Amino acid sequence: MIRRLIAGGVLMAACVAIHASGLAAALKRLRRAPASPPGFQASTLLFIVVAAWIVLLHLVEIALWAALYAWRGAMVDLQSALYFSAVTYTTTGYGDLVLPAGWRLVGGIEALTGILMCGWSTGFFFAIVNRLYQQKTGTTHA
């Protein structure tokens, strides 16, 4: 059980590293954008691209958890592991697939990690919206 919890902690750290590097790359790219506020269509396209990038980061993180479950035999196959991991990471929790008793705390670590990463993504998305709003209105708030 301790080894499984350590594996869960390592995967949590990996998710944080993936998310940090992915959001840092997005931020670097956004900083190269023109300083003038984009129009409605350009803003909408920007939001779509950022949302797609964030979803891709989450899918990579979900796949890592699924790989652990499939590799260690906690799920019968990779397809089931991917489904279970997506449902757990997003805290949807259908309950149609469950981990064996010895793995259930690891599933809880995945769910907590998913909550944190989704919250971080939401904060990042909000910061972009806020920046665009400030550019359009010419206001800055400390």
Rg (CA), the chain: 18
Cα–Cα distance, 84 to 96 (Å, whole number): 9
**Structure tokens of 126?**
């909000």
Q: Torsion-angle region of residue 3: left (phi > 0), alpha (psi -120 to 50) or beta?
A: alpha
Q: What is the pLDDT at residue 41? A: 87
- What CATH number has the domain spanning 2-31+46-137? 1.10.287
| 88 vs 130: CA distance, rounded Å | 30
pTM, entire model: 0.89
User: What secondary structure letter does DSSP report for 32?
Assistant: T
Handedness of CA 25, 45, 85, 104 (dihedral sign): positive
Consecutive 10-residue averages of pLDDT for the chain (142 residues) = 93 98 94 75 89 97 98 96 97 93 95 97 92 74 56
Structure confidence at residue 9 (pLDDT): 96
| pLDDT score, position 134 | 79
At residue 72, the pLDDT reads 94
What pLDDT, on the 0 to 100 scale, is given for residue 1?
82
Measured over the CA atoms of residue 71, residue 110, residue 95 and residue 92, the dihedral's sign is negative
Predicted local confidence at residue 139, as pLDDT = 67
The predicted structure's pLDDT at residue 36 = 67
Six-digit token string for 42 = 């350009």
pLDDT for the residue 35: 64
Q: Where are the domains of the chain?
A: 2-31+46-137
